[in-house]
């Protein structure tokens, strides 16, 4: 049954009134005016607020709020909305306003065939901004479907710098030199380290319950229901086992065996499929081994969670895993995804960025002599095989410079690295 035009008119008016009353932390993610844009990211990462931010920006530059057509397809009143209803949506806007719409379409992946409407709007030179929670919207296939007319931007939860801004904490490099400044940053970082950067979480007291609700929505809504997962228990165990093996490469066969060991019968092909679903929902991402052959690159990756808080739901007393996970998130956010690797070929190095010739070890503390030797020696050994300009060891709160064989290794506390790199 087609969606009622009067209902859509009411939704458009009411939602716009709500948005105009909002306050939020501006983010430094630039969205161009003239280019159709798709914002893709995990649920609750702040995609909707980026649309609101763009609306306020356009309004401050002379556009009228009457131009803005904002709709969120997760609104339960829009259940059953299909591709034919997009025309009704445009008609509802023109019934409310005489001005051509600037379109803001939130969580559009819910509507089957949405890309055809999006392509038509781009062909008509409409100003349009879209969000979605599915990584397929970043794929080459989707780019082809949209005819190369859109810019895709991946949205992550708050960085540590954005988190500090949301806490109204102002800092500069002199803050690092102050005992009080370092203590204040350290206290705020502890919250970020364990609970992550989902924007709405900043002002919520019961953080673990909020994180659980996000995870359940992703697990049930974005994976189980969307992909009609037949063995939800196997999927649940798979997510837990991935969390427990952060920092270690894990093959499809090994993951299948680990899950089978707890009494869950599931085939390797099913596990491969479930991993793809988890990556498409944006809750997981992976890093491949630069030092291996092509087949091993694709079948033996390291997996990480897109947010600290989600990982922390699964692990206990796992500060080292959380430390490596937060480094992985920052590297993926700030570099081309296909230029972040780990290195394992008789030598084990946590991260390698060939584009900038940087090798990174992650170690909670270097105070233990054997641990220190292991981390340093791995970097030195790698530098003898591959040209490396920059070697880092990222710790929780230690800082020094290590000189070995005319090579320099910079040791940085993770909070400082997140703010300066």
Mean pLDDT, rounded, for 351-357 = 96
Cα distances from 377 to residues 23, 154, 394, 402, 403, in angstroms, run 50, 36, 15, 11, 12
Q: What is the mean pLDDT of the chain?
A: 93
Q: Record the tokens describing residue 52, joined without a space.
A: 């609101």
Lowest mean pLDDT among 42-56, 127-141, 170-184, 379-393: 127-141
End-to-end CA distance of the chain: 53
The whole-number pLDDT of residue 304 equals: 97
- State residue 149's pLDDT score: 85
Q: Determine the pLDDT at residue 94.
A: 97
Domains of the chain as residue ranges with CATH? 5-155 (3.40.50.300), 160-195 (no CATH), 206-316 (1.10.10.10), 337-420 (no CATH)
Is residue 140 pLDDT above 70, yes or no? no
pLDDT band at 39 (very low <50, low <70, confident <90, very high): very high
Q: Which residues contact 248 (CB under 8 A, 6 or more apart)?
A: 302
3-state secondary structure of 265: coil
pLDDT of residue 308: 97
Proportion of the chain above pLDDT 70, given as a percent:
99
Instruction: Read off the pLDDT of residues 227-283 as tens digits, 9 standing for 90 and up.
Output: 999 999 999 999 999 999 999 999 999 999 989 998 888 999 999 999 999 999 999
In sequence order, what are the beta bridge partners of 286?
Answer: 303
Please choose, from the candidates 36, 71, 29, 41, the residue with its C-alpha nearest in 3D space to the C-alpha of residue 137. 41
Measured between alpha carbons, how far is 332 from 199 in angstroms, rounded to an integer? 19
Cα–Cα distances in angstroms (integers) from residue 178 to residues 162, 174, 182, 185, 222, in the given order: 21, 7, 6, 10, 45
How sure is the predictor about 141, in pLDDT bands with cuts at 50, 70 and 90? low
pTM, full prediction: 0.94
> What pLDDT shows up at residue 287?
96
* Separation CA 341–CA 358 (nearest Å): 10
Measure the CA–CA gap between 126 and 53, rounded to whole angstroms: 19
For residues 174-202, average pLDDT: 94
37 or 137, which is more confident?
Answer: 37
25 pLDDT tier (thresholds 50, 70, 90):
confident
Report which DSSP code applies to 317: S
Residue 138 pLDDT > 80: no
In order of 35, 56, 188, the CA distances from 61 in angstroms are 17, 9, 35
Distance CA(9)–CA(90), nearest Å, equals: 10
Q: What is the pLDDT of residues 358-379, one digit of tens each?
A: 999 999 999 999 999 999 999 9
SS3 (DSSP) at 83: coil
For residue range 52-104, list pLDDT tens digits in order.
999 999 999 999 999 999 999 999 999 999 999 999 999 999 999 999 999 99
What is the side-by-side order of every strand in the sheet holding 358-362? 302-305, 284-289, 341-344, 348-353, 358-362, 390-395, 407-413, 400-404
Beta strands at 37-41 and 151-155: parallel, antiparallel or unpaired = parallel
Confidence of residue 142 (pLDDT cuts 50, 70, 90): confident
Give the model's pLDDT for residue 391: 98
Per-residue pLDDT, averaged over 390-402, amounts to: 97
């Amino acid at each position: 049954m087609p969606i009622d035009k009067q209902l859509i008119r009411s939704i458009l008016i009411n939602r716009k009134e709500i948005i105009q009353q909002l306050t939020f932390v501006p983010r430094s993610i630039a969205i161009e005016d003239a280019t159709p844009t798709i914002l893709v990211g995990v649920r609750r990462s702040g995609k909707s607020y980026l649309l609101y931010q763009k609306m306020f920006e356009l309004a401050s530059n002379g556009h009228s709020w009457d131009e803005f057509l904002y709709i969120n397809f997760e609104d339960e009143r829009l259940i059953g909305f299909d591709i034919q209803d997009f025309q009704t949506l445009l008609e509802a806007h023109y019934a409310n306003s005489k001005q051509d719409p600037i379109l803001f379409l939130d969580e559009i992946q819910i509507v089957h065939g949405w890309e055809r409407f999006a392509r038509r709007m781009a062909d008509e030179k409409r100003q349009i901004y879209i969000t979605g929670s599915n990584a397929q919207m970043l794929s080459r296939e989707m780019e082809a479907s949209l005819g190369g007319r859109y810019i895709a931007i991946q949205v992550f939860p708050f960085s540590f710098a954005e988190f500090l801004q949301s806490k109204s904490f102002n800092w500069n490099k002199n803050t690092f030199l102050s005992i009080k400044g370092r203590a204040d940053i350290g206290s705020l970082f502890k919250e970020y380290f364990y609970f992550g950067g989902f924007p709405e979480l900043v002002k919520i007291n019961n953080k673990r319950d909020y994180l659980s609700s996000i995870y359940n929505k992703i697990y049930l809504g974005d994976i189980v229901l969307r992909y009609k997962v037949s063995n939800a228990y196997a999927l649940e165990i798979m997510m837990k086992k991935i969390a427990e093996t952060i920092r270690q490469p894990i093959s499809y066969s090994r993951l299948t065996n680990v899950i089978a060991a707890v009494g869950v019968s599931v085939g390797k092909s099913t596990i491969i499929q479930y991993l793809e679903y988890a990556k498409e929902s944006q809750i997981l991402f992976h890093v491949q081994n630069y030092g291996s052959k092509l087949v091993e690159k694709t079948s033996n990756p390291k997996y990480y969670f897109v947010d600290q808080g989600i990982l922390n739901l699964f692990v206990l007393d796992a500060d080292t895993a959380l430390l490596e996970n937060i480094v992985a998130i920052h590297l993926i956010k700030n570099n081309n995804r296909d230029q972040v690797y780990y290195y394992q070929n008789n030598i084990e190095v946590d991260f390698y960025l060939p584009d900038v010739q940087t090798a990174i070890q992650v170690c909670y503390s270097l105070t233990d002599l054997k641990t220190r030797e292991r981390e340093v020696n791995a970097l030195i050994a790698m530098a003898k095989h591959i040209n490396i300009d920059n070697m880092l060891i990222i710790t929780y709160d230690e800082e020094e410079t290590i000189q070995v064989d005319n090579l320099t290794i910079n040791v940085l506390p993770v909070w400082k690295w997140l703010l300066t790199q």
